[in-house]
Structure formats: C-alpha cells, structure tokens
Structure 1
Amino acid sequence: MNGLNVNDLVNLTNTGALKTHLSARAWLTACANADDLEHYRWQLWFQPLDQTPVMVVETNNQPGFTFNGDHQLVYTTVNTQTKHTRLHFYDVKNYETSKTVLLKDHQLKVLEKLAGGQFLLGGRTQRPDKEPNKPWHELKEVPYWSNEEGLVDQTRRHLWVFNSATEQLNDLLPQDFDCSNYWYQDGQLFLCGVSYKNSRPFKDGLYKYDFVNQELQELVRPNQYRVDTIALLKDQLFVLASNCKIYGMGENPNFYRYSGHTLHLVAKWDHNVGNIVVNDMTVVGGHSSTVSDGKLYFVSTVIDHTEVYSFDGQHINLTFKWPGAVNSLASENQRLVFTATTADQPQQVYQYDGSDLRQVTKYNRFLQKRSVATMHEFEYYDSTNRQCHGWVLYPVNYQSGKKYPAVLEVHGGPRATYGTSFFHEMQVLANAGYFVLFTNLHGSEGQGDEYADLRGRYGQVDYADLMAFTDAVLKQYVDIDPTKVGITGGSYGGYMTNWVIGHTNRFKAAVSQRSIATWVSMMISDIGPEFVTDQLAASLDQENGMQTYWQHSPLSYVHNVQTPTLFLHSDHDFRCPIPEGYQMFQSMKLQGVPTKLVVFHGANHDLSRDGRPDQRMKRLTEMVAWFNKYLK
C-alpha cells in the first residue's frame, strides 16, 4: 500500500473553530481546492443535538460565524477585491439565508452575538492617510508590519458592534487602541490591548467594556502582565497570566483573582495554555478554553501531547488526557466538544461527557487506502544526561536489513514541541523512502519553564541535545545509513539547521525553511524588538550587544559550511524576514557550496501550515527532490 504523497494535500481536511449554543454546535473545515490551488474550500458546518452535520456554506475565504439564538447562524464573508464585508443571516431550521447586509469599506469577521440583536465584529482599521495607487508608502510606527496581515503601520485591531435592527456599525474602541484578544461571557466584554503612538508596548493592559457609558474601564494597566485567558466564576474574575519576570516573554502563566486593580495569586502553574504540539494541519484554529458549570476548562501542552484541565477558582484538576493535539475547545450541556489530531489522522470533532468519549466526524476517510507511517518512540539521554524520548518514522514498505537514508526534523519556536500528532510533511518523507527522526530539545514547551528557557543559550545546549539524539538514533536503528542523513527545520528549526551546518559536516543535505541568519537583521521582524532582545538576553545598546548577537548568529559560521543546502523562504514572511534566507544563500553561493533558494511570492511565515495549496505542494516537492539528489 502506498503512503501519502505531495498531491494528497488536496485530500486532507482541516477542522476547527468550534462554537456551541445550547444543544447545537458549528465548526469550520478547510480543504485545498483541487480546481483552484490558490485557495482552500472553506465550509461552515452546523449540527443539531446528535444529528447529522449539515453544510451551511462553502467559500474561498475563511468566514467568521456565531449563533443567533436556537435557529439561526450569522456568518461573514469578505470580498478581497472590493474590501467589503457581507453579513449573512442563515436559518438553520429551514436551511436558507433570510437576510444579507453589506458593510462597505470594512474587512471584518463576526465574533459573538451580543444582547439586543447586536453582534460583535473584529478587524483592522484603515490607515488614516491611505491613498491608493501611490508608488510609495511611509512608515511611522513599530510594528509597521505583521506576518499574517502585511502592512499595519498606523492601523489598529478594533472591535465593532453591528445592530441588526438599524443595520448600523459602530467602532467600540479609541482610535489609538490596539486590541489583541477579547472574551465575552455572561453579557460582559473583556479585552486585552493598549493605546500607543510610535511604538507598541510589549505587555497589554486588561480592560472591561462598559456598554452603558460606551467606554473602556482599565482593570490592569499595560506593561505588567501577559494575559493568556480570563474567566468569570461565581461573579469573580480570574486571570491566567504571567509577569514574565523570571523566564522572559515565554514564561508560563499562573492563576490570579482580580480585585481592586490587582491580580492576587491563587494557584501556580508551570505549563502553557493552548496546544503547541506542532504539525502542518492547522489551517483552522479555535479557542483553547471555555467556561461551563462554574469552571474554566482549558487546553495545556504536556511534554508531547495535550491535556484538558478545569479550574474552579481554587483548584486545578485534570479532566482528560489526549494522545495528540486538541486545537479547539467548546462546551455544551455538561459536555466538552473539541477538535483534535492523533498520530495517524488530522482533526476530527469529538465530544466528552466525563465518562464517554465519542468521535463525531469522519473526515479524511481516504487515509484508509494509504499506508500511514507509525510513530516509533524510543528513549535516550540528552547532552545533560537527562532521560528523554524521541520518535522515528520508518520508510513506507520498509524492509529489514536494507539501508535507508534519513531526515532529522527540528521544530520551530523554540517553545514548541513535537508529539503524537499527524504531520503531512513527515508522512511524505516516509513515503519517499526516508526514516524520519524528531525529538524535543532544551527550549521546547511542555516540560516546564526551566527546561524551556533557552535565553542566551541558542546554539549551545540545544545543539548538543540534537547531536546526542542523532547519535542515539543511529546506534539503535542500524538500517539507517549514517552517511546519508539530512536535516530540515523551519523558523527556530531553520535557525538550528543553519547553525548545525556551520558546526558539523555529518549531515549530507539540508533544507532550511523560513530561517534566521543573523540576530541583528532579525530585529526588523514584526516581533523583533521584543523577541530578539528577550531570547538573547542582550540588547544592541549594550557595550557587547553586537558581539553577543553575532556570536549566536549562524552567518558568523558560514565559512565552515560544506553541506548542500536548499533554502525555502517567503517574501511576505515578516516573522523571519526574507533577508535571513538571502544572506545564507548568497554567502554559500559565493563560497561554491551547492545551494538553492526558492522564494514564495506573497506567502508568509505560516506557508507550511496554512499557505496557498499550490505553494505548499511546491515546497514539499522541492524538499523531496533536494534530499533525493544528495541522499540517494
């Protein structure tokens, strides 16, 4: 039986964005459009209690949606050419659209149903001096761009209220206020954000919106905490947040009770909120927490999988463990509903009532006709002599005693983690005849702040871990040809790929994706001023700041590189901007080292996860061809 190939991307269905109302639920799916590989087919699904799901609409752009009572869904679609938004009122009882409303000059998504026939919408404001068709633009602020959104200079993320009776749209927020997150519970709207000019502060404030007086009430002033989620429990406000004082910007949150403009510690927690088990099936997102029956239920990443916990205002209790990645969570009628991946299949919708776990959907049935490579876990000791585990995928149709090439994968982050989650890229490599190797190094999420703290140690303990893992794999899996091992990774994984080829020649081919060449030029990243300074534990205005940045930069070791390396980079990647790829490629080219750079036009940092289907397929095709050329 054949395994998965590049073209199977058009068969894979992504699922998420779950929402519930009483006994009904709705969600989104996205699948590459085989007839138009520039787009996905987005589908909005509705399911009454324990009945067969029904597709509401199919569109080329991701719709926003919310429930409007028991028998109606409201969803938004955006025309990317006219820049207009249309609200659709869909009768789920009669399966027909009852009304549409055009919102001109706005690109918004409906988020929530409010009281009195009103709806909450979100999106970006327009630049105040926007003049079309000018062959230039001016930059006046930091950040001036955002990886997912492009140019954001002098714009803000705002919330609007749409009144369905008057069809009026009103902006809720002050002109300079930028909203990063919101929560609507029990008729109350809370949000994180900050007002700024010129340069955006790194930590937001926490606010409550007063609908009566139509103003923001500041609860916690900016620059104190990173807020991950909030919950109203028995009329008290609880906040899951971190002050980031010990382990930097990625520090895990603790539970606080809000009172008198102060957060009072209730319970400590040494894990994150949400799924950070990486895979390439994340076209559709979703909420990672929900409030039900006086408890906050939330997803947390633990070592290599996700677990769902509850918090009742005092205690944290495990609800269930999931052998994979939960990426969207909602609640209904004393049940939890969620979408999740497992090791052998992408997201499905599941429900859990405390005793019975049931799969609701049956997407991706085509996998029954494919040989899905199994994850083989094995234990080893890292560079600090700590017992760890990693995984190996065998080549499809593996024959014992035959020698095979292998590819070592390195995840991004670095505060991310590999785990038991379906990964199309790895399946493609296994089907192409490779062992696929991966593990979690120092810096990875899911094992506490101390393990994840890589600040000031980039290219040191993580590199030593990676070499220890590679040694252990080659010793245990004798059918891997040690002279034909390649390496690949993206973002932080791209940084490590660049770093590795500058420090060893043991890898005979490399594919460096959305990588980092120097920390100095990384300062122009959309998160650069905060992320780079935090992760290197140094700033450029310090006496030895430039020396520290250069010491940890792969470009400073490029003179050692002999490994044939393919660079994959997107020209709208503002997280690891494209100069990073150009610098490594040009330096190696001038040295005569075999290299190639493929630039994906209009794509951003998330190309491998939710980029255009044709570009994702081209990326995988180039990767397999490069490894085939130098490892086979």
Structure 2
Amino acid sequence: MKEKKSIAAEHLYKLNSVVDPQVDSSGKGCLYVVTSICKKNDTYISNIYYKSLEEESEEMQWTFGKDRNHSPRWSPDGKKIVFVSNRTGKKQLFILNREGGEARQLTNIPNGATNPVWSPDGSKIAFQTRLCKEESINCKEANIDHTYKTVPLEVTNMKYKSDQSGLWDGKYQHIGMIDISTGELMEITTGENDYLLESWSPDGKYIAISADTHKDKDLSFCSDVFLYEVETSIWKKITSGSGDFGKVTWSANGKKIGLIGHEREYENATYSKLWVYDVELEWLQCLTPDWDANVGDDAIGDFQQGVVTPGMLWGEDNESFVFLGSDHGNTIVYFGHETGAIYPSLIDNQHVYGLSTGGSLKWAVVAISTPKLPGDLFLLNLETGEVKQLTDVNKQFVKEHEFANVEAIQFQSNDGWELHGWLMKPIGFKAGETYPLTLEIHGGPHAMYANTYFHEFQALAANGFAVLYINPRGSFGYGQHFVDAVRGDYGNKDYEDIMDAVDYILANFDFIDETRLGVTGGSYGGFMTNWIIGHTNRFKAAVTQRSISNWISFYGVSDIGYYFSDWQLKADLTDMETLWKHSPLAYVEKIETPLLILHGENDLRCPIEQAEQLFIALKKQKKTTKFIRFPESNHELSRSGKPSLRIERLNYINNWFKEYLMKN
C-alpha cells in the first residue's frame, strides 16, 4: 500500500470548501458552492454545482471561471436560480435557467448587489446594496465620477470603522427590488440607517427586514425585526426594541414567523433562543426560555469559506421545524415544534455547518466536517437519522494524505467545573516515545472548539506535535452560566481552566514531554497566550496572534473597544486600575518564554498597536521575541485572508515551535 503523505500548510492550495446547500422546493435537487484557491493569482475561486437527490449521478457544474460565484437561490417554481458574482468587477445578481445556457446579468448597480430573495410569484427579486445618503439605487454606473480624490474623513459617530469593511465610507446598507422582466428598480429603504434583508412572506404581502432604528446608534446594540408591507410601504415592528433578532423564516401558510435572537441579558455572552411570531394575533413568544443550549453554529475553524447558517426551517404542517444548535463541541440538527418540544435529528461527533430542506421535513441536505473530514454534503433522513454522502470534493486529497487521530477528553477543573476538550496525536505516533505539545486557545472568548477540521492543527501534528485544545469557561456549548462566567474575570478562572487541562494531559498521557510545551492562540486566545507566559514559565515557546496586550489603549482604538471592555471586563476608562490589572503588558517583566508575535496590518478588531507595545516592551528588556506584520490583512487573516499569507502564517507558527520544542 502506498504510504500516505503528511499534511502541510501549503495543502490549502489543494483543498476545496463546500458550503451553502440549497434544496429546491420539489426536493429533487440541491445547489451548493465549492471554493478553491488559485495559487497563481493568490485568490479564491467559487463556483456553483448541482446534485440530483433522486438518482445516483455525478455533480454538474453550473458556473465556471476564476471569479467568486455564490449565494445561489432557487426561483419558487424551481426553473431558474439567481446568484451573486463578481465577474464584472463588483458583486452583481445573475439569472441562470435550470435547463442551461448563459447566465444573464440582472443588476448593474454602482455599489453592487448581494443577498437575493425571490418574491413568491417569481417576478421580482429583493436584494442588498450600499448607498450614500445622496445616492439612488437608480444611479447609472456611467454617471458615477470615478476620479480618485484624497479627502478627509469626517467622524461624528463612534461606530465609524469595522474590521470587516475598514473606515466607514458614508454608505449605508439598503434594500432594493428589481422586476425580472422589465429591469425596473425600486428602493425599499432609504435614509441614514442600515437595513438587512431577511425573507419574503409566502403570500407576497410582506418583506421581513431587520435593523437598529434607535436614534443613538453609538450606544445601541439591538436588532429588531420589521414587516414591510409591499403594497402600502407600511412598516410594523414585531420585536421589543431591546434585543438582537434575525434569521427570519416563514411557515408555509405564512401565519407564523420564526426568529432567532435574545434580549441581551448577558450582552454578547447571551445564548440565542427560538422565537415564533403569530402574524394574525401579533404575538411574539419565546419557544425555548429554559433550553440551556445555544441556537446556531458556534464552532470555530480555519477552513470553510462562505458558510451560511440557516434559521428555523419550517415543515409542511406549519408547526414543526429543524434548526442547528451547538452543544459540547458538536453542532446538531434539532427537530422542534411550536409547543416547545425539541429533540435531536442528527447528533454525532461532528460539525454540521449547513442545512437545507426545501420545505419538507422528510429529508435534508447537511454540510458536515470532522477532524478528519474537511467537509462534504450528506443527505439526511430526518425521520430515521440515516445519512448518505452526496459529495466528495476532496476525494483524492483525503485518499493520499494522513490525518491525525483525535481523542476527546473530559476532566474537572480545580474548583469542580466539568471541562471538555481534545488531544490530537502527532502523525507517526509511536508508543514509548515522547512528543512536544502545543496548546491552542480559541478566540471570542464566546466561541467553541468543535469536532471539525482545523488545518492549523493538522499541520502541527504533521510536524510531530501533539495538539491540545479545550473549551474553557466563557466558551459556547456548555450552558449559559458557563459562557457568562468569564465576564469580569479575564485571566483568572479561564486561565486556571486552561492550566488544569495541561495538568490533566501530563498526568494521563505519558507520551507528552512536559519540558517541551508550546502555547498559541488568536484574538482572545492571543490575550490568553500573553497572559499565560506572564504568569508561568512552564512553556518553552509561545506564538501570540492578533492579540490584546493592553486594555487601556484598546479602549476606543478597536472597532469594538469602547463597549467590549465594558461588557467583558466590566470596566472602562474610569477604572484604569482594573483595565491594567487584566492587561498582559502589566506583567511583561515576568515573561521569559520566547515569543513570536503575528499581527495583520489592517486589523481593526485587535489593532496592531497591541502587538507593537508588547514587542517593544520585550525587546527593551532583552527578551527573545520576533514580530511578523502581515500586509493587507485584517483580523480574519487565518480564516479568509489572502491565501499566500495564510500559508506564511502557518509556516511561521510551525517553524517557531520546531526551533524551540524539537530540541530535547
């Protein structure tokens, strides 16, 4: 038998990501998006594929080229699809007939068009675009002045920058509509506010829209759901004005609306719940007030591109639905009923990151990943739980390469809390030998390591490292009390949880060399990496990524800085003592561990000045450190950044640990 190859950072170029399954209303076929990397152009390529659910057949590729073609959505009659493509430069909507032929460009809007939603009769499509307050959706591209001008940025609001989109350019998120036959455009929203298109009612009467319409946006963090009546342009708010709601779906008869959201009881640490709005009675009800699990997909990874998480997907009886929930390192397909009954339809040690039913609760197409499966689509029988694989987008790669084995671990913290995580053995593991260990810490902190593929972990294991990753308190997946426990306590019990995990591994796995321990993490995981090496010298090497080192300077500099500190540390600039006490920079003189610092130049979530301060403070004290600045990179470098830089990042991490941990 031919020996399998180890996984390397560069294998990102060979792997495909499959996401966003969309089953048609007949249940006979499914569209999905496959994304790969063009090494020559250092860009991502996405194309749309079709797979029959009725018969054994090969997948059919419906779009081609080296552009990003994504977000396919079936017309109500299943004869056409609309999708988003950047093939003309900006993202625009295109129409493609199911029977084949060339795609027809539907929009040519100066700022692009995304998020298409069909009208129930198939005559119109609503969409998302961005407009300045003086712009109209009917502006022609030819009339736009593209002359480059350097102008000052006038800032009057606190929310003037975003890690995702950079400095605010004066444009708001708005919703438009286009008549497919005539091309006539209509503005649904206008003004100085952002609106998010949700869904269209089955009778065509309403469009559901979410927005924060509070006057003081700087201090408002809500999202309400509105029903926009198409004929009259009348708006009706159906949520309370104090929570965060979205993912709006309609029952087949249009009498009920499903929502996912919460009332911000624990700020951004609050579990999302299921809600149902009765359209006739005008009554909103929470279906899961006492269900101690989070609705949605909270798994964190570094591989999938363009994941779409659905809301409640209703069945034919207008009372039942399916949805995704996160629990103990898995994402699970749950069946629910408006009476409040909930039970799992698909539960296993896996990450379900996509779900589509086409309107029937007999079958569903799910996207699944595991530590040894980068991701594929499966047909799920919702009645029996049986699954059948539909795609095999990395067949040859999986056949030729060896994936590291992963073992789940369960243990108690020193104060009696149940903790959960995983230990990945190095490739080529041999009993009786000892190996270095790398400890990985996730960001958030409100996220969840899961039974999913992680390219970084596999690359480390391929280089001879065991990899430990756990969900300390603050993580999703283990109850509301657990996720809230980190707020106001950064660097205390969360730190102890992580160190308890290291102690547990050393006590129970004799192949780990306690003299060769490494630690790394990004964002909150970077903060914790900095904190750990300032409080213990147990680690022989560390890599901190897009980290926080100084909560005082973080305040107001990060795009979330002026409120995140209040929510998470429960302190602001009126309490600098607390901010400094929780800052790793305050303990920099105690750091002896060789530290590699990785940071993106354009990171507005954890600005690069956080890394600069730490680097200079360490160098001034003659400590061993190196600082790598990644150009054109924001906070998402490791997940959706420029492919070549993602690979450079992985190699820097591996090489640093090889330099300091591979020497006995």
TM-score range, shorter chain: over 0.9
Q: 2:496 aligns with which of 464, 468, 476?
A: 464
C-alpha separation in 1, matches of 2:132 and 2:331: 38
Q: Give, in whole Å, the separation in 1 of the partners of 2:160 and 2:133.
A: 12
What are the residue-to-residue correspondences of 1:374-523 with 2, within 5 Å? 374-453=405-484, 454-523=486-555
**Given residue 63 of structure 2, which amino acid in structure 1 is its aligned partner?**
V
Q: Measured at CA, do residues 609 and 170 of structure 1 come closer, stay the same or move farther in structure 2, by a change above 3 Å?
A: same
Q: Deviations over 1:439-484 (max 9, x none)?
A: 1111111011101111101100010111111111112222222111
Change (3 A) 1:191 1:322: farther
Partner of 2:310: 288
Alignment of 1:183-582 (within 5 A): 183-186=199-202, 187=204, 188-195=206-213, 196=215, 199=218, 201-222=220-241, 224-233=242-251, 235-245=255-265, 247-258=266-277, 263-268=284-289, 269-289=291-311, 290-293=313-316, 294=318, 295-318=320-343, 319-332=345-358, 333=360, 334-353=362-381, 354-355=383-384, 356-365=386-395, 366-453=397-484, 454-523=486-555, 524-541=557-574, 545-582=575-612
Correspondence for 2:12: 9
2:636 to 606, 624, 628: 606
For residues 421 and 189 of structure 1, what CA distance do their matches in structure 2 show?
35
Asked whether the 8 Å contact 1:329–1:339 carries over to 2, the reply is: yes
CA distance in 2, matches of 1:62, 1:581: 36
Q: State whether residues 275 and 288 of structure 1, in contact with CA within 8 Å, keep that contact through their aligned partners in structure 2.
A: no
Describe the superposition over 1:542-572 as per-residue Cα deviations: whole angstroms up to 9, x where unpaired. xxx2211111111111121111111111122
Shift of residue 208, structure 1, vs aligned partner: 0.9
Q: What's the counterpart of residue 627 of structure 1?
A: 657
Preserved CA contact (<8 Å) 1:383 1:461: no
Given candidates 123, 128, 133, the residue that maps to 2:129 is 123
> Is residue 24 of structure 1 aligned with residue 32 of structure 2?
no
- Distance 1:116-1:88 versus aligned 2 partners, 3 A rule: closer
Distance in 2, matches of 1:199 and 1:39, equals 35
Show structure 2 runs of 5+ residues with no match: 136-144
8 Å CA contact 2:129–2:174 kept in 1: the answer is yes
**Cα distance per residue 1:511-548 (max 9 Å; x no partner):** 1111111223333322333322111123334xxx2211
Is 1:617–2:640 an aligned residue pair? no
C-alpha distance 105-257 of structure 1, shift in aligned 2 (>3 A)? closer
Offset of residue 218 of structure 1:
2.0
Counterparts of 1:74 and 1:180, CA distance in 2: 18
Please name the residue that 2:138 is paired with.
none
Alpha-carbon contact 2:67-2:85 (below 8 Å) kept: no
Alignment of 1:106-185 (within 5 A): 106-114=111-119, 115-126=121-132, 132-134=148-150, 136-180=152-196, 182-185=198-201
| Cα gap change, 1:238 to 1:7, in 2 (>3 Å) | closer
Letter paired with 1:243: E
Q: How far apart are residue 128 of structure 1 and its match?
A: 5.2
> In the alignment, what sits opposite 1:44?
48
Deviation of residue 85 (structure 1)?
Answer: 4.2
Change (3 A) 1:127 1:368: farther
Aligned 8 A contact 2:243 2:263 in 1: yes
Residue 215 of structure 1: how far off its partner (Å): 4.1
Contact 2:94–2:106 (Cα < 8 Å) also in 1 = yes
Identical-pair percentage: 27
Which range moved further: 288-297 or 396-405?
Answer: 288-297
Q: For 1:210, give the aligned amino acid.
A: E
Residues in 2 aligned to 1:520 and 1:261: alpha-carbon distance in whole angstroms: 46
1:77-117: per-residue Cα shift (whole Å, max 9, x none)?
Answer: 2368x5x4443222221x21153245141222242211452
Q: Deviations over 1:326-355 (max 9, x none)?
A: 111111343111212012111111111222
| SS of the residue 2:63 aligns to | strand
Checking the alignment, whether the CA contact within 8 Å between 1:288 and 1:327 is kept in structure 2 is: no
SS of the residue 1:347 aligns to:
strand
- The gaps in structure 1 that reach 5 residues or longer are none
Alpha-carbon deviations, 1:561-593, whole Å to 9, x = none?
A: 111111111122222222222221221122111
SS across alignment from 1:75:
strand
**Distance across 2 between alignment mates of 1:301 and 1:270:** 10
- Residues 60 and 242 (structure 1 numbering): CA distance in 2 closer, same or farther, change over 3 Å? same
Shift in alpha-carbon separation, 1:180–1:530, aligned structure 2, 3 A:
farther
Offset at residue 10 of structure 1 (A):
0.9
* 1:61 alignment partner AA: R
1:217 CA displacement: 2.2
Report the alpha carbon displacement of residue 252 of structure 1 after superposing the two structures with TM: 1.1
Q: What code does the residue aligned with 2:95 have?
A: F
Which of the numbers 76, 83, 89 marks the counterpart of 2:84?
A: 76
* SS, match of residue 112 in structure 1: strand
> Counterpart of 1:310 in 2: which secondary structure?
strand
Q: SS in structure 1 opposite 2:86?
A: strand
Q: Is the 8 A contact 1:2 1:396 kept in 2?
A: no
Distance 1:514 1:181, change over 3 A: farther
**Compared CA separation, residues 463 and 422, structure 1 to 2 (3 A):** same
Quick one: structure 1 residues 559 and 125, their matched pair in 2 at CA, closer, same or farther if it must change by over 3 Å?
A: farther
Which has the larger displacement, 5-14 or 380-389?
380-389
- Cα gap change, 1:496 to 1:42, in 2 (>3 Å): same
Q: Deviations over 1:292-342 (max 9, x none)?
A: 222231101101101111332112322221421111111134311121201
Cα distance in 2 for partners of 1:231, 1:41 equals 30
Tell me which protein shows more strand as a share of its residues: 1
When structure 1 is superposed on structure 2, of 433-442 and 379-388 the one drifting more is 379-388
**Shift in alpha-carbon separation, 1:387–1:190, aligned structure 2, 3 A:** same
- One-letter code aligned to 2:24: H
